[in-house]
Structure 1
Amino acid sequence: MFDEHLIPDVLLGPLGGTRLFTRLSAAFAKFYIENEGLLIAAARRQVLDKLTCRIENLAVWDDVLALHRLPENMNWKVTKLAVEIDVMPYVTSAIARTKEIDQADALVTTDPEIMGGAFVFAGSRVPIAMVLASVDAGVDWDRIRASYPCVTSAHLAAARVYAEVHPRRGRPRLADSHPEWVRSSTRVVRSAQE
């Protein structure tokens, strides 16, 4: 996305020496990828360039990039010849996802001083990985609630979103990517030689 300039560069937020997706650029990236079979690359870029020009002229530019506030008079449709392309569904989807992420950020936290920096539920020392593993293993929800009274269904949903947005560092374990694999071991026992 970055090097091929599939999304206009002004939508990428700089952070030191790195480039970050703004929330709006995530919506534009989804539009670009999902319409690959429908529109050629040049047409998709033209749509995004035209919308970016409209957004750059707005007084609330930063709010639009962060998807905090969208102007009511903003037209998210681009018409080219007899074709009208509406990008608003992608923006709406991105707004819904950012609300989920913001909720997850409010309910899950990490601090090097707490549990060695593990992701924990805010205001507690309960690691989200432990609760998610219990749920995934089929442990009854009432039993989890009895063990961790501070954890609600909203916390559980937030933990799933947080774990998805902030994956563990390092290489993923093979067992996680291939749950159908079964661990087996062999042991050879030989009699003592005289």
Structure 2
Amino acid sequence: MPAVAEMLKPTEAAVVSRVSLRDVNRAIDERILPEAFVSVDNGRHVLAGACSFISFYFETAKRLTSEERLFAIRTVESKLTRARGLAWAALLREDWTVRDEFLTIDLRPFLKNTSDRMSDLEASREMVTSSSDVLGGAPVIRGTRIPVYDVAASVAADHPIDRILEAYPSIDVEKVRLASIYAEANPLRGRPRATGDLPEGSVIVSDRRVPRLRKAGRSS
């Protein structure tokens, strides 16, 4: 099981918190997260356990004021600090109820969801491997030559799951799900590498080139 104290990249924290990358950066920049749960020494990183606070803050925005949400986070801050060395199962046995006059907030469901998503993230990491001997080191699904980003791209393009499994018969539904999680947590940077190779079975119908239209206002 992944450690509560693991430090996650912002993209990983976004996956575990189920919020946007922008919201993770907001949580850091606006000090929504206590400084003890954030590291900026070698790139931005967020404590895995604190992702539950990010999730709580943004998911309850329509029901609680900012002050109420921050109060809840500050109230249990010390408890998470003390529990950093615990496993998630032990963490979930703690009482995460916050009370303030008439207001009662239970943060345990947010920690449980974070724990589940950390398990998914770890499973996606274990599923993916890379070697210079296989597809030039591109990340592939373990035991196959299937690029994990190709599978994730099919999911992102809303291809039906049966079509994806037909295209990649050596994987199953769970591996397709984990491929999407891995790609979201580790997004590719820059433009895709250009290649002159066509996918197997492709046929060139026409190689006619269409001239680019000139912008209005330019002299001929």
Shorter-chain TM-score above 0.5:
yes
User: What is the rounded CA distance, in whole Å, between the counterparts of 1:18 and 1:27 in structure 2?
Assistant: 21
TM-score, normalized by length of structure 1? Answer: 0.71
User: What is the rounded CA distance, in whole Å, between the counterparts of 1:170 and 1:4 in structure 2?
Assistant: 28
| Root mean square deviation, CA, Å | 2.9
Q: Which runs of 5+ in 2 are unaligned?
A: 1-26, 193-208, 213-220
1:156 corresponds, among 163, 176, 184, to 176
**C-alpha displacement of 1:71:** 5.3
Structure 1: 4+ residue segments shifted above 6 A: none
Q: Secondary structure at the match of 1:18?
A: coil
Matched residue, 1:2:
28
* 1:123 to 1:69, Cα distance in 2 relative to 1, 3 A: farther
Q: Secondary structure at the match of 1:140?
A: helix
Matched residue, 1:144:
167
Matched residue, 1:178:
none
For 1:25-104, list aligned pairs within 5 A: 25-58=50-83, 61-63=84-86, 67=88, 69-70=90-91, 72=93, 74-104=94-124
TM-score, normalized by length of structure 2? Answer: 0.64
2:139 corresponds, among 98, 119, 127, to 119
User: What is the rounded CA distance, in whole Å, between the counterparts of 1:142 and 1:53 in structure 2?
Assistant: 47
Q: Secondary structure at the match of 1:79?
A: strand
Q: Which runs of 5+ in 1 are unaligned?
A: 173-184, 189-194
User: What is the rounded CA distance, in whole Å, between the counterparts of 2:43 and 2:152 in structure 1?
Assistant: 32
Number of equivalent positions: 167
